[in-house]
Amino acid sequence: MVEPVRAARRELAEVLSAEAGTERRGQTIWLRHAVAGLIPVTAAVSFAAVRLTGGSPNPLNHLGYLPILIAAYTYGWRGAVPVSVAVAIMLGPMAAWLALPGGTEQLDAWLIRAVMFGAVAAITGTLFDHTRQATLGWRTAAIEIAQRERDGMVALARGAEAKDTDTGDHIGRVQILSEELARAAGLDADEAASIGWSAMLHDVGKLHVPDRILRKPGPLTADEWKIMRQHPIYGELILREGTGFEMARRIARWHHENVDGSGYPDGLRGSHIPLEARIVRVTDAFDAITNVRPYQAALSVEWALTELGRCAGTQFDPELVRLFEDLVERDNSLLARLVARRTVGAA
């Protein structure tokens, strides 16, 4: 049981670091390059504005602060200080060195402005550096909190699964299938990942169902079914405390609702059933059909897809069934990932 938890943690790290982290780093790098391109442009504009209006002394010399501030934002004080020196020279002695027309400043006036440019560069650059470090710290803390929440989900879901079956990795497969189906339904990566993780807790209410019912190899009696059908309610009650489980609560309560209103526990119909619960209704059924359960042998993927299609519009959302069929047929790696999960769970 330890190894699947470690595998789940590794997958979490991939979701948070590889996908979100890479995307954020790419956006940040692109933004920095775009902003950095403004440094020489604004410096040249400052120089041109001063020279075209008669040279120094000139109030337009204050335009020199603009490239310095941009450099401070982009590179911190290490980038801003050299830029401040370059701008001070451009707006000061460079005109005299190049013998350009227009007025030039006395040395003491130029030195005072150069010192002010350098001070502003050092102070603002340092502030931007500290802001970036604080933002990184907040982001790291958010990732750690999310990881603790996911670890709690995995532990709780494993406890429920241990009562239901001692083979395979049902919750891991439902997680994968639910996330992929959510993506196919048009949800963004973060929303799809949240549905995947929350889907792992869909059967947590089975902690309250006796083992003699969960592991019964034959059909359940009417009384046993009455008890079994309480597990969505138990699941919502288990997850009602604490933040971060809102979606998991909805899935746990309503993942056995049918779109025609014949499901349980509340008899919801159609769009009144939350999308995430309709997604798990499809993926949970597919995994139950294609893997060994106490009450049936594993059936083929083709048989499972046929059954989903037959029950589309009654048990299952027909649009989600269509998307799921396309997903299974299009993504050749998906079934291999499910087999790998089965192997890890069995180990």
pLDDT of residue 24: 55
Give the Å distances, CA to CA, from 305 to 26, 320, 325, 327, 346. 39, 12, 7, 11, 24
On whether residue 66 sits in a domain, the answer given is yes
On whether residue 9 sits in a domain, the answer given is no
Q: Is the peptide bond before 217 cis (omega within 30 degrees of 0)?
A: no
Chain-centroid distance of CA 98 in Å reads 55
**For residues 153 and 91, what is the distance between their CA atoms, to the nearest angstrom?**
61
On whether residue 157 sits in a domain, the answer given is no
Q: Output DSSP code: residue 84.
A: H
Tell which residue, 49, 25, 38, 140, has the closest CA to residue 83: 38
Mark whether 119 and 180 lie in a shared domain.
Answer: no
Q: Are 92 and 40 in contact (CB under 8 A)?
A: no
The dihedral sign for the CA sequence 72, 74, 79, 85: negative
Mark whether 228 and 324 lie in a shared domain.
Answer: yes
**For residues 331 and 186, what is the distance between their CA atoms, to the nearest angstrom?**
16
Tell which residue, 194, 149, 160, 151, has the closest CA to residue 175: 194
Mark whether 183 and 123 lie in a shared domain.
Answer: no
Mark whether 280 and 233 lie in a shared domain.
Answer: yes
Mark whether 173 and 207 lie in a shared domain.
Answer: yes
**For residues 180 and 174, what is the distance between their CA atoms, to the nearest angstrom?**
10
Give the domain extent around 51: 18-140
pLDDT of residue 135: 86
On whether residue 326 sits in a domain, the answer given is yes
Final residue belonging to a domain, choices 105, 140, 175 = 140
Q: Are 164 and 109 in contact (CB under 8 A)?
A: no
On whether residue 13 sits in a domain, the answer given is no
Mark whether 197 and 294 lie in a shared domain.
Answer: yes
Mark whether 210 and 290 lie in a shared domain.
Answer: yes
Mark whether 325 and 184 lie in a shared domain.
Answer: yes
Q: What does the chain come to in residues?
A: 347
pLDDT of residue 342: 59
pLDDT tens, per residue, the chain with 347 residues: 334 444 444 444 444 444 445 555 556 677 777 788 899 999 999 989 988 888 888 889 999 999 999 999 999 999 999 999 999 999 888 888 887 877 777 888 889 999 999 999 999 999 999 998 898 888 888 777 777 766 766 666 666 666 665 444 888 899 999 999 999 999 999 999 999 999 999 999 988 899 888 888 888 999 999 999 999 999 999 888 767 789 999 999 999 999 999 999 999 999 999 999 999 999 999 999 998 776 678 889 999 999 999 999 999 999 999 999 999 988 878 877 777 665 444 44
Give the Å distances, CA to CA, from 283 to 15, 52, 286, 297, 342. 20, 70, 5, 18, 15
Which amino acids are annotated catalytic?
206
Report pLDDT digits (tens) over 139-181.
888 777 777 766 766 666 666 666 665 444 888 899 999 999 9
Final residue belonging to a domain, choices 92, 125, 140 = 140
Mark whether 49 and 86 lie in a shared domain.
Answer: yes
Final residue belonging to a domain, choices 140, 157, 177 = 140
pLDDT of residue 92: 86
Q: Are 94 and 71 in contact (CB under 8 A)?
A: no
- Element of type H or E holding 82: helix 77-91
On whether residue 154 sits in a domain, the answer given is no
**For residues 116 and 257, what is the distance between their CA atoms, to the nearest angstrom?**
69
Number of domains in the chain: 2
On whether residue 284 sits in a domain, the answer given is yes
Mark whether 226 and 292 lie in a shared domain.
Answer: yes
Which two three-digit tokens encode residue 316?
């299952």
**For residues 47 and 201, what is the distance between their CA atoms, to the nearest angstrom?**
64
pLDDT of residue 27: 62
Which two three-digit tokens encode residue 150?
């996911």
pLDDT of residue 16: 43
CATH code assigned at 187 = 1.10.3210.10
Chain-centroid distance of CA 168 in Å reads 27
Q: Are 162 and 338 in contact (CB under 8 A)?
A: no
Which two three-digit tokens encode residue 211?
């083992």
pLDDT of residue 163: 65
Mark whether 289 and 175 lie in a shared domain.
Answer: yes
Q: Are 67 and 87 in contact (CB under 8 A)?
A: yes
On whether residue 248 sits in a domain, the answer given is yes
Mark whether 169 and 44 lie in a shared domain.
Answer: no
